[in-house]
Structure 1
Amino acid sequence: MASDRGTPPMNAIAQLETFSEHEARGKYNDQAGSPLFSILPRELRDLIWAFATAPYEDSEAKFENTAYYYRPGHTARLKTETALLLTCRRVWLEANAFPMLQAEQSFYYYRGAPDGRDPEWMARLTKHNSQNLGELHLFIQMGTIEKLASPTWCLRDYFLTHRPVRGDLQPRIFRLTIRHTDWWSWENDQPLRLEDSWVKALLDAPELRSTPILKLELETLDYKADQLAVIVDRIKKIESAEGASHYVGNYPTMTRFELADTQDTYTWEGPTNIDGRVRHAYEGRAMLNYHVVTLTWNLRFTELPHASVPGLRRASVALSPDQKPLAVDENPGRAEGRLRFWYSAILPRRREPRMTEWTEGIKRHHFMLRFWTQVRWISRRQAELGEAVRRRQFEELCGAALERKWAARWEAERSLLRFVGHRPP
């Protein structure tokens, strides 16, 4: 392949900026002489990019096998090779999202691994990387995850400390793991216990309504497998609540997490001296045999079972189909007169021995202040909703132009994708 001068330098993957093909048009070599681009379709090239940038365990950065965080898939630091992205700009444009899409970002709440992430790392992610966040893996103790059931706590509090921003937490896969050492009183070999309320809160978390796959991984020792089976059967009966989280056309569409038909189960062996100490309950054992069960939920559209989640837009706050927008009177004076009548009818005056008129005036003033605050909020929300409707209508009118644009792009990429059917002009 021919090289490009001025190829953007490859810094930390977490600092990649958005760099679309449209913005780079005419600034890169299209590599027409390379069979990789002139013969292979885009879908096969994507498989090559994915294979070349897949994360793996670094053999030169092994973890101690007695550490709390040592387990299959986490026996060493995870590493991603990005040298492929330095070859030319055409490769960069097609493959720059794959390192983040395939990477597993692990968060540990207590007893974490050296490569664990933290909220400061998440805050440094660019918008491009936030949109391409692959797997978000949370290792957490039982007492900490139970906070999720509290009305004052939400899922994003485990990962982000700044104020909510649309799209700042939308991984492709979210995995939550309760390790053997995360259960209540595991040191004393107490029976397993789990509160259902936080699992329900996890399934209903609005932050995950752009996440196609949710996994819950529960780990214990082999002789507690029967106890875990009872808990797993109970979790399977917990149903996700429906919520209007995406727009399909001009209408908000309901989504919910549905449990997969099969569960994944595997076992592995580890030393008895966890963290370099042998607990009284494990004396006389040569190894500890772990039993792990993974439950998987997939995000589904209740009315569109074959819809794809990542390609749809998140919904803003919208009125339900049976709820009409509140009317705002254009004449403030007339509205104020109606309000005073409503105030007098609903909240009759309380006759007090002193300062009656002054007290009523203060109460009416505070009531009017709250009312006009609500009026301004309603007006602003109506304007936002109207703008969203007009934007969607404009996008629908431009549908034919978008089809031509994407068809030309797929043809240039030698993609196998084609539009089926005909969109009316």
Structure 2
Amino acid sequence: MQDCMGAKAEPKFQEITQKGLAIPKREARALRRSLAEIKPENSNSQLQSPLYSILPNEVRNSVFEYAVCQVVNPFSKPETHHARRRPSHELLPVIDTSLLRTCRLVYYETRAIPLRSTTHHRYGDQAISYESEDWDHYLFHLSNQSGQHLYHLHTTVWHIPRFDTHLQQHMHWRRLTWTIYKIFTRFKQVLFPDSCREVNLEFETLRNDPLHQRITRQVADGCRDLPLIRRNNSRIEIDEKYTLEYTWDGLIWQPSDGTTGPGGYVATTYHVTRLCWRVPEPERNYMHYDHWDCLRSEKIKPAPSSYVSDNEGKG
């Protein structure tokens, strides 16, 4: 293809994107502005390419989607950290953005797909720090243009999270998930982005700890009737269809008892109560580019019955 991002811009663009080099803020802003100004009107029409001269727009868009969206990499090394090796997370995801560097027109048509398809994972690792919320994170440095295309943030923590940490004004999430292995008594109300279509709140316990399960269910009962408020004052209501309980098999650290040597990881089964708030619209409207859907897995086993709160059970 011709017009490969402009003859002058291409080498520096490739150097930055391929090597991840740090550049001065002023130069970075200039680069972002130049990329944001790319439009069909100032790009080559590429009619010499069958992608634009023969294929219908719908077919070309599907080709671009499968080439650029986030997918699970079947050739990646298995995830080794026990806290991150969860259902649908056994292998690492990958995004191939090389297509965006072919020409200006392709860049214009595909630049939103990587972010619109990506699930960003955050882990509050208690073995490292209880203050992981304060760590500098690349999400804080996204431009306003990039923030418009954010799709899914999945946060897994072993402490009480600050729910508004990654809900800054420039972060327009479509989907938000918190998986929490910690009992807390009150769900702090926050304002969600106007773009938000789905919020999941998961309470995780050990299946062989019925007391912990009962307490977390009481907490879930206190949260499930709360409407979530977006910045435009619209509400996201609980969706009973997607609210459920399930179990999954994983590992947990077992300390030494003083007689059998050092501690180690042992097999265990986790019990999860998932509350889901959704807007009443088809999933495809906001999950169109999601080719991973990390919240669903064959290794998730539904609990004997769907989620029924203690309050409903008394009726």
What TM bracket, shorter-length normalisation? 0.5 to 0.7
Alpha-carbon displacement from aligned partner over 1:257-288 (angstroms, at most 9, x marks no partner): 1111223554332245x3xx4566xx9x9731
Distance 1:176 1:215 in 2: 6
Q: Kindly indicate whether the alpha-carbon contact (under 8 Å) linking 1:19 and 1:93 is maintained by their aligned counterparts in 2.
A: no
Provide structure 2 residue ranges, at least 5 long, that are not aligned to the other structure: 21-27, 258-262, 287-315
Distance 1:240 1:292 in 2: 19
Task: Report the number of matched residues.
Answer: 256
Query: Is residue 172 of structure 2 the alignment partner of residue 170 of structure 1?
Result: yes
Specify which of 237, 249, 274 is matched with residue 258 of structure 1: 237
TM-score for the superposition, normalised by structure 2: 0.64
1:194-233 equivalences under 5 Å are 194-195=184-185, 197-198=186-187, 201=188, 204-224=189-209, 228=213, 231-232=216-217
C-alpha RMSD over aligned residues: 4.0
The higher-RCO structure (CA 8 Å, 6+ apart) is: 2
How many percent identity over aligned positions? 21
Q: What SS class does the counterpart of residue 208 from structure 2 fall into?
A: helix
Letter in 2 for 1:133: L
Residues of 2 paired with 1:64 and 1:297: CA distance?
32
Q: CA deviation at 1:82?
A: 1.0
Q: Is the contact between residue 184 and residue 219 of structure 2 (CA under 8 Å) also seen in structure 1?
A: no
Per-residue CA deviations over 1:181-212 (Å, capped at 9, x if unaligned) read: x33xxxxxxxxx442x22xx2xx411434311
Matched, 1:138 2:155: yes
Tell me which protein shows more helix as a share of its residues.
1
Output aligned runs, 1:70-109, within 5 Å. Answer: 70-109=85-124
For 1:119, what is the secondary structure of its paired residue?
coil
Q: Supply the distance in 1 between the matched residues of 2:48 and 2:214 (Cα, whole angstroms).
A: 58
Mapped to 2, the partners of 1:214 and 1:234 lie a distance apart of: 17
The offset of 1:99, in angstroms, is: 0.9
Residue 235 of structure 1 and its aligned partner are, at CA, apart by 2.7
Matches within 5 A, 1:296-375: 296-299=276-279
Deviations 1:304-346 (A, max 9, x none): x89x999xxxxxxxxxxxxxxxxxxxxxxxxxxxxxxxxxxxx
DSSP-derived class of the 1:46 partner: helix
Normalising by structure 1, we get a TM-score of 0.49
Give the letter aligned to residue 49 of structure 1: F
Matched residue of 1:220: which SS?
A: strand
Q: Which residue of 2 aligns with 1:325?
A: none
Instruction: List gaps (5 residues or longer) in structure 1.
Output: 149-154, 184-192, 247-253, 311-425
Q: 1:211 to 1:128 in 2, by over 3 A?
A: same
AA matched with 2:204: E
Q: Provide the C-alpha distance between the structure 2 equivalents of 1:33 and 1:140, rounded to a whole number of angstroms.
A: 51
Question: In the alignment, residue 149 of structure 2 is paired with which amino acid?
Answer: N
- CA drift at 1:174: 0.9
